[in-house]
Amino acid sequence: MSININGSPTNLPSDTRVSLLDLLRDHLNLSGTKKGCNQGACGACTVLVDGERILSCLALAVQYEGRSVTTVEGLSTNGLLHPLQQAFIDHDGFQCGYCTPGQLCSAVGMLREVRRGLPSNVTNDLEGESITLTRDELCERMSGNLCRCGAYNGIVYAITEFAETTK
């Protein structure tokens, strides 16, 4: 039984109670993914599974056999920051940095959802072909990622800039 984490095949734990989050943090020492509530309320533990964002605290590791997980550690390549990571630094999209890995993974997954045309609660035209990433669309879609430091403005600038450069 194995799971692919940031490109490396990894054994799944024998204890079926282990969440994907605890597998990463406690069993593999991949502590970039954060725990802020362990109950699906804060978004700090967001990772990408086959490109889709999930809350790793609500996922049992064994459910993800054979799947590919990307964590914040997997966003950068060869020590080079992902452009969204750089945009977070440029726009001061964090203070303490604890929600940041979740915000980053969530944003990457969110932008894919927008490209696929998935509507959100604030999308007016459900029949429409494509989604325009307005400020409201972006904020609505990122609202599962809490930032108690209140770096929201910077996060929005960073994601907007990144989304524009990768259009």
Q: Which does 45 bind (CB under 5 to 8 A by kind): other proteins, ligand FES, none?
A: ligand FES
Return the residues of window 75-104 that contact ligand FES according to CB under 6 A. 94-100
Does position 151 bind ligand FES by CB under 6 A? yes
If the CB atoms of residues 22 and 123 are measured against ligand FES, the closer one turns out to be 22
Q: Is residue 100 within the footprint of other proteins (CB under 8 A)? A: yes
Q: Is 142 in the site for ligand FES (CB under 6 A)?
A: no
DSSP the chain: -EEEETTEEEEPPS-TT-BHHHIIIIIS--TTS--S-SSSSS-TTEEEETTEEEEGGGSBGGGGTT-EEE-GGGTSBTTBPPHHHHHHHHTT--SS-SSHHHHHHHHHHHHHHHHTT---TT-S-TT-SS----HHHHHHHHTTS--TT--HHHHHHHHHHHHHHT-
7 binds other proteins (CB under 8 A): no
Catalog residues that contact other proteins under the rule CB under 8 A. 15, 17-18, 22, 25-26, 29-42, 44, 71-73, 75-76, 81, 85-86, 88-90, 92, 94-101, 104, 122, 135-136, 138-140, 142-156
